[in-house]
Structure 1
Amino acid sequence: MSLDLATARRFSVAPMMDWTDRHCRFFHRALTSRALLFTEMVTSAAIIHGPRERLLGFDAVEQPVAVQLGGSDPKELAEATRVAAAFGYAEINLNVGCPSDRVQSGRFGACLMAEPELVAECVRAIRGVTDVPVTVKCRIGIDDQDTEESLDRFADAMVEAGVAALYVHARKAWLKGLSPKENRTIPPLDYPRVYRLAQRLAPLPLLINGGIETLEAVQAHLVNVSGVMLGRAAYHDPVLLSRVDTEIFGAPGAPFDLKSVLATMADYAETQLTTGVRLNNITRHMLGLANGRRGARTFRQVLSVDACKRGAGPEVLWQAYNALEQHESAAA
């Protein structure tokens, strides 16, 4: 692990379904050695009954990395935690923020904010089977809840249950009337409410999430909270992550070097291809690497189209790089 977990939480990349898989995390780690990374949410039932290595396996280089669990059955979550903890994750996080219909039907995610006592029971069950720090990620509320009273009640239950930190998405989740996509943008952001909670819960670490798109905004939030979590902004503009170690953690570092990152990922791809992984499963996370540069569109096309072709190998990364260089040379 590059640094202690409490420090790593200063900046984290959010768990995102279908995105923050092991290939994405390896890629992100090539850009920042210090940020805390998260898995996709994995349900407790999937861990118990599904292919564990595929769901939970990761490269040690990814550390520090947290696993996010979804579920509402304390016994099942405890069993899943035993399995997940054995893989060596730095943190166990419980999802109480996802608003999707699929999640609601399974009685986990944001709908659990209406049941703080049950979530607290889940946290205690998880903590009872591991020494790994246990955290919760939630919203500021759901539907018609009063975000002052209900969020305090929920947070107090988490503190009493012994969470090591609380991640708060600064929006309500509207479980009735909004799609998961709409829930990411339509409910208004309320950063001051999260700041008040952070002050109230201190010294418990409180990490803010939601609508944060720049490192300048991260710095502004860090005046009021212990850490900041970025999701889609970090995924779509991954070069942003190359500035995190120096600008957020104050560590010495070199300027972003696309060629160096591609070399790291080409070596990684070569190894992964021998295990049956398809190249596009890796390159799909890298499409934003040339954002803002001439030839970025061609760069994306090569990584997305050519990487899908039968027999595609690491040379595709260099084809994308050379295409970018040609565009920039022609424009010079």
Structure 2
Amino acid sequence: MSIVIQNASATGASSPRSVAAIPKKTNWYPYILIAPTFLTLIIVSLVPFIYAVYLSLHEARYGVVKNFVWFDNYIQLLTDPTFWNAMYVSGLFVLIAVPVQFVLGLGGALILNRGVVGRSLIVPLLFIPAMMAPVVVGLLWKIMLAGSWGVLSYNVIERFNIVTDASIFGSPHYALYALIFIDIWQWTPFMMLAFFAGLQALPSGPYRAASVDGAGPFRTFFKLTLPLLAPLLFIISLLRIIDAFKVFDTIFILTRGGPGTSTEALSILAYKMTFDFWDIGHASAMAVVVWIIFFIFCNIFYQVAKKKLNAF
């Protein structure tokens, strides 16, 4: 017995305590792989944002950074009716466009998931609106709704006396709703495809069990499909809210914020402040304010989805 103990100690058999004391080598390979993306995000996103914060605290006009003014740019911005009108336009755009896209997209995905005739042909066609550049979408609908000779202008708008004197984009009452309709047309197929992909990935076991228990289609949808699909639904909705809130291309091509300020969203106002009036200090302050609003909104959105609805 003593010989065995001596041999064990001679061969250097390590105890659990000595094994734990050996320092582990850091595996740098994963960090090396994500380093290019991380550095790109810092250079492209973080550095410009920090510079925007710096400009927002200074008097910056016509490309010249002058005096440090503390929060004067923010105070003038938050007391400017033009800013709140742009906030209202962007908010109304999101509140109408995104819920309609969500409902139509989810409904279309459920229909596709049932196995409609010609699905293999329909699915590739749904990619077309989302693949089109916003400039192309704007030009397309500018022709479709142009004056009295556009296809939709002549056959629908004028026939039903919606707008009779000018293009719908020249109407302060209907121009924004026309832009919302175009956004719905472009992005509803994308949401439909995203939700359809999520439905295709759901496990079939719970549905078999629900069928055996005699659950109807509505009970199955609300008790199984929605909870299982909740993470995807909330992520896609959040991405669409962010994207719709900062829409620029379509509005710029079709109305440039007009007539008047009826379609002047925050992105259009920021463009005018920067490139028309060269008021870079106020434009930077607006960018920071919008970032703060969305930072708070995204955190609340995530916490509600996580705690109340178990989406994450």
TM-score normalised according to structure 2 size: 0.22
Greater helix fraction, Structure 1 or Structure 2: 2
TM-score between both structures, scaled by the size of structure 1: 0.21
Greater strand percent: which structure?
1
More RCO (CA 8 Å, sep 6+): 2
Rg bigger for which structure? 2
